[in-house]
Structure 1
Amino acid sequence: MKNKALFFSLVCAVFVSCGQSSQPVYQVPVSEADEPMMKGKFEPTWESLKNYEVPEWYRNAKFGIWAHWGPQCVEGTGDWMARKLYMEGSEVYRYHVEHYGHPSEVGFKDIIPLFKAEHWNPDSLVAFYKKIGAQYFFALGNHHDNFDLWDSKYQPWNSVNMGPKRDVLAEWEKAARKYGLPFGVSLHADHAWTWYETAQRHDTIGPKKGVPYDGKLTKADGKGKWWEGYDPQDLYAQNHPLSENSWDNGMIHRQWAWGEGACMPTQEYVTNFYNRTLDVINRYNPDILYFDVTVLPFYPISDAGLKIAAHLYNHSMATHDGKLEAVLTGKILDEEQRKALVWDVERGAPNEIIADKWQTCTCLGGWHYDQSVYDNDRYKSAADVVKLLVDVVSKNGNLLLSVPLRSDGTFDEKEAKILTEFGEWMNTNKESIYDTHPWKVFGEGPIANSDIAINAQGFNEGSYTNTTAQEIRFTQKGDDLYVTALAWPEDRRVIVKSLAQGNELYPGEIKDVELLGYGKVGFERTVEGLVIELPDKQLNKIAPVFKVR
C-alpha cells in the first residue's frame, strides 16, 4: 500500500470480536454530542435498515422537480464552478479572472455576496411546477461548495448571514407544503473536503505564478474585509494535506468513495456535516433526502451516513404517527443496500424492470445555471424529458428533473417554453404515469432490446431519447394497460408486437383502444401485432399514449 490513508480507505470497517457479537469500528466515527441520533425502530446497521419499505406516496408520484440552485449560479459558468475557478487555464478560471478577479484575490467566498436572489419567488415557482405535473419538489440544501441555504446552526457561511439573507429552505418548504407537494432536500457538502483542494493551488505560469489561491486563508486574514469575523476554513475546509495526485483534476472522481489516496477527513469535519444534516431533518421535516455520494455520506470510512439514515427513518415515524413516510436515496448501491435505500441513477437508467423502487436524476441543462447551454440551445427538449420519464416509469422508477435557475431565482424563456410544452403533454397523459406500475415487460423496440450498460452511477440517458415509433413502453393500472410510442409514426399506424394475436403476454381479448386526449381509435389484432390507427392530426409533437382495455 502507498500509505495508511489508502489502506484504511479500502476497508469498509474493521470488526473486533466481543463475545458472540461483532461491532464495526469505523476509521472516522461521528460524534453525537450535539445532535443525538433519534432512537426508534431503526438502528445504524444495514441489517436494521434493510427492513425499510418505500412509502406508497413515493411509489405513485413518479415525477419530481428539483431547484439545484445556489451561489454557484452567479457567474453562469455551470456546475462545479466553485472548484473549477481554481483550475488554472480552465474556461471557468478564465471567465472568473476576466470578470471578477484572480483567485488569489477574489475567491468563491467573494462571489457569495453577489448571490442575491432578487427575483426569486418560491410560491409562484412551485405553483408552476405543480401545474406542469410535478408530484414532489426538491431544493438544494448545500452543494460541494459547502454553503448552507438555510439558517444553519453549524455553518456560519449560510444564506441568512450573507448573500440573499433569506432562509431559502424554509421558503421552499413553505411553498411545497402550500401546494401539497412532498418536500425533498439534497445535501452535497460532505465532499467539500476534497472538492475544494483546488483552492490550495496557485498559478504555474504568468504574473501570478506561485501566488497561493485563497483556499488556506484564516479568520485572522479577514480584518477589514467584508467577511471579517468569518473563518474561510468553515467554508473551504482546506486546513489539511492534499489528497494523493490532487493536482490531477480527474482524481477526485476516483477518490469519491474515500479511497485511492483521498486525504481522510477529521472527526470534526464529518461530525459537522452530520450535525447540519440532522438540523435540516429536525427543522424542515423533509420527505426525501438526496446525497451525491457512493452509498451514504462518508461511507465506508464512517458511521455518519448510517446514523443519518436511521435518524431520518425514526424521525419520520415519530412525526407520522408511527408510519414511515420518508425516502433516502443513494448511488452505486448493491442489491442488499437497495433494500435499505432508494437507488438513484444519475442521468441514466437500467434497461430492465427493477423490483425495488428506484429513481433517476437528470437536468434540463447543466446542474448549475450555465449561460453557454442557453446560448447554444443545449437544453433537453420537452420530447426528451417525456421519453426519459416514460422509459423510467415503465421500469419501476421515478424521474427527478432539475430545472436550472439563474442567480436571481428565475428560469429563462427557453426553459419556460420547454416546461410549458412538457406540461401540456403531461396534463393530457398523466393517467398513464401517476399511480401506475410496470407491466410484464417494460417495452419493445430496438433500444429496449439492446444491452445498454450503466456507466458508474448512470450516464447513459442519451441512449433513450433518439427513438422512433417502433420504441414502445408499457405501464399498468388496474385492468388498463397503457402503451406509449416514443414518437409519432409517419404512416399513422403504431404496431405493438407484444400485443399480437396469440402472444402469451396478453392472452385476453382487447375490447377497445383509446388515444388519450382524443378518444377511441380503430385497431386490428394480427399475428404481427396490435395495429393501431391514428387520427390525421397529431395531438402534440411528442408521443401518443394509448389505453388498452
Structure 2
Amino acid sequence: MPSINRLALLLTTLLVSPGFAQRYEADWESISSYQVPEWYQDAKFGIWPHWGIYSVPAKRGDGFPAEWYGRGMHAVEKGPDIRPKKGQPETIMNDFYDSRGLEQAKHHRETYGPPEEFGYHRFADLWKAEKFDADEWAQLAVDSGAKFFCMMAQHHDSFSLYDSEHTEWDSVDKGPKRDLCREVKKAVYKKGLKFGVSNHMAWNATFFRFYHANYKHLPDRERLADLYSEGVVDDAYIDRWWKRTTESVDKLQPDLYYFDWGWDRGRLADEGYHQKFAAYYYNRAVEQGKGVHGAPGVVLCTKDHDDPPNCVTRDIERGRMGSIQKNVWQTDTSISIHSWGYAANDEYHSLDYLIETLVDVVSKNGVLMLNFGPRADGTIAPEYRDRLLGMGAWLQINGEAVYATRPFSIHRDGLDRGAFKVRYTRSKDNTTLYATTFEWPGERLTLKSLNHDAVDADRIGSIRLLGVESDLEWSQDHEGLHIRLPERPAYGSAYPVRLRFKGPLPSPTK
C-alpha cells in the first residue's frame, strides 16, 4: 500500500508540473478554448505612442504620414514609362509611381542631403530621447483615464525600442542607448496599469521599396539590410521576423500584443504563423504566471478578420464596428488626423470627437486604444497632452458609464432617427443602464427605446445625470421615457444618464 501511495503522489506531481500541463497547439481548434481576460473587458481604454527614429525628421507629406518618412524620403516625381523588370535594380522604382512622398523627399534633400548620402538609418544616431521620463508618461496615462499602456516594440522600419539580441538596430545599441520598452513597463506597472507591445515589422520586407531598388550599390549594404531587409519575403526574412517577434514576448512579457497590418497576407498568413504565434504567446503567458490554459490572461490583437474572433481580438484601424459584437474587439485610432508619429504640421481631432468615439466603441463591446506621437526628445506636445488630460477629466466624472460595463441589448436609441445620438451601456450585474447622449438635448431627454411597451415603469428605481447629486424627474408613454434634465453640466462633450432598475434590465430590441 505505501508503494501505491508513493506512485499516486508521483503521478499527481507530474500532472501539475509545467511539462505535463495542457498546452495550446498551433491550430485554431486548440486555441478556441481561449477566453479574453476580464481585465481587458473592463479596461475599455488604453493609450499608445508611435515613437522612433522617424520622430527626428517629424515630417509628414501629402498622403504619407510622418512614421513613413523612411519610405517617402526616396520618392521621385515620376517613375519610368514602363515598369522596370526584375534584374534592373538600377532603374528608379517609385512604388507603382506613387508620388505621395514628394514633400518628404524635398524636405530631406534640403535639410539633410541626398538620400543616397544621408540614409534613413542615420537618424538612429540623431535620436537621443534626452527628455524622456517613463514615470511622466505613466502618470499621463493615469491622468488620461487609460487602464493599459501599449509600447511599440518595432515599427515598419524594424528599429526596436527594446534591447534585442537579434539586431544592432535597437534603442540600446543606437540613439537613446536605453531600453525604452522596459522603462515604460516598469513605470506603468507601478501605477497599476497593464502593459502591451505593438509589432509592425511584418511589412518591413517591402516598406523600404525605394532602398531595395536603388541603393544596392552602397558599401554598407550588408550591414544595413538588417534594418531595411532585402525586399523579399523569403525564408531568411521569415526567420528574422519570427525571432524578433517571439523575443519581444519573452523579454517584455506583455499583457497585450498588437499586430499591425502586413502579417495579414502572404506567407505569414498562408503558412500558419497566426496560429503558431497565438499558441506561442498564450503558452508563454501561462508559463509566466499571467493565467491558466483556457484563460491565459493576455490579449492578442490582429487586423486579420479571417482569424476566428474567439481565438484572437479583432482590431479595426481608424474605424469601428457597426453593431454590438459577440466577442470583444478593439479599435486603434490617433489623436492626430494625418500621422501616428509626431509631425509638426499635423491636425488633431477634437476632444468631443475622441470621447464620442470611446463611448460608441464601448457600446458595441469594444475597447479603444488611442495613439499619441511624442517628440523625438520624449516630450509630448500640448495638442496631444491636453486632449489626453481632457479624456481623463471626463472619465473622472463619467467613467462609471464606461469602465467595467457590458453592452446592452441595443447600442443606440431609436435607431438614431431623432436629433440626438444616444449610446447604451450597462453594469456587469445587469441592474444599471447608462444612456449617454452626445449632444445636450436641453430641458428634456427622450429615450424612445424605453417606451412603456418595452419597459415596465414600475421597474425603474431612480434616474440621475452623472456628475449631478440629485435624482431626476421622469415620465413615460408610448413615445418613450422622458427625463427632465437639470442645467447643462460644465464637463461637456457627452452626457451619461444612469437608470437604476429594480432587478434585471429589460431587453428592448430597437
Q: TM-score scaled to structure 1, two decimals?
A: 0.77
- Residues 143 and 389 in structure 2, CA contact (< 8 A), matched pair in contact too: no
Distance in 1 separating the partners of 2:26 and 2:196: 22
Partner of 1:352: 323
The residue type equivalent to 1:525 in the other structure is Q
1:456-475 maps to which residues of 2 (within 5 A)?
470-475=420-425
The residue type equivalent to 1:267 in the other structure is D
SS in 2 for 1:371: coil
1:103 aligns with 2:115: yes
Shift of 1:511: 2.5
Partner of 2:36: 54
SS in 2 for 1:418: helix
Distance 1:380 1:71, change over 3 A: same
SS in 2 for 1:80: helix
Q: Structure 1: which 5+ runs fail to align?
A: 1-37, 202-211, 222-229, 241-262, 450-467
The residue type equivalent to 1:548 in the other structure is L
The residue type equivalent to 2:439 in the other structure is A
Partner of 1:9: none
Partner of 2:174: 162
Partner of 1:369: 342
Alignment match of 1:131 (pick from 131, 143, 158):
143
Alignment match of 2:74 (pick from 60, 67, 86):
86
1:515 aligns with 2:465: yes
Alignment match of 2:436 (pick from 466, 484, 490):
484
Of all paired residues, the percent bearing the same amino acid is: 33
Query: How many residues are matched?
Result: 442
Alignment match of 1:384 (pick from 348, 353, 356):
353
Alignment match of 1:271 (pick from 221, 225, 239):
239
Alignment match of 1:309 (pick from 265, 278, 284):
278
Distance in 1 separating the partners of 2:315 and 2:216: 32
SS in 2 for 1:521: coil
Distance 1:329 1:391, change over 3 A: same
- Residues 296 and 306 in structure 1, CA contact (< 8 A), matched pair in contact too: no
Shift of 1:417: 2.0
Partner of 2:52: 70
Alignment match of 1:547 (pick from 498, 501, 507):
498
- Residues 270 and 304 in structure 1, CA contact (< 8 A), matched pair in contact too: no
- Residues 132 and 427 in structure 1, CA contact (< 8 A), matched pair in contact too: no
What's the CA shift string for 1:174-195, capped at 9, x where partnerless? 1121111111000111211111
SS in 1 for 2:459: coil
Superposed CA RMSD:
2.1
Shift of 1:508: 5.5
1:55-454 maps to which residues of 2 (within 5 A)?
55-77=37-59, 78-89=66-77, 90-201=102-213, 212=214, 214=215, 217-219=218-220, 231-238=223-230, 240=231, 263=232, 265-293=233-261, 298-320=267-289, 322=292, 323-334=295-306, 337-365=308-336, 366-373=339-346, 378-444=347-413
Partner of 1:15: none
Shift of 1:332: 3.3
Shift of 1:536: 2.2
Alignment match of 2:25 (pick from 43, 52, 55):
43
Shift of 1:345: 0.7
Partner of 2:508: none
- Residues 440 and 488 in structure 2, CA contact (< 8 A), matched pair in contact too: no
Shift of 1:309: 1.4
Shift of 1:143: 0.3
Shift of 1:216: 5.6
Distance 1:140 1:344, change over 3 A: same
Q: Structure 2: which 5+ runs fail to align?
A: 1-19, 60-65, 78-101, 501-510
SS in 2 for 1:176: helix
Q: TM-score scaled to structure 2, two decimals?
A: 0.82
Distance 1:169 1:40, change over 3 A: farther
Q: Which runs of 4+ in 1 moved over 6 A?
A: none
Shift of 1:445: 5.5
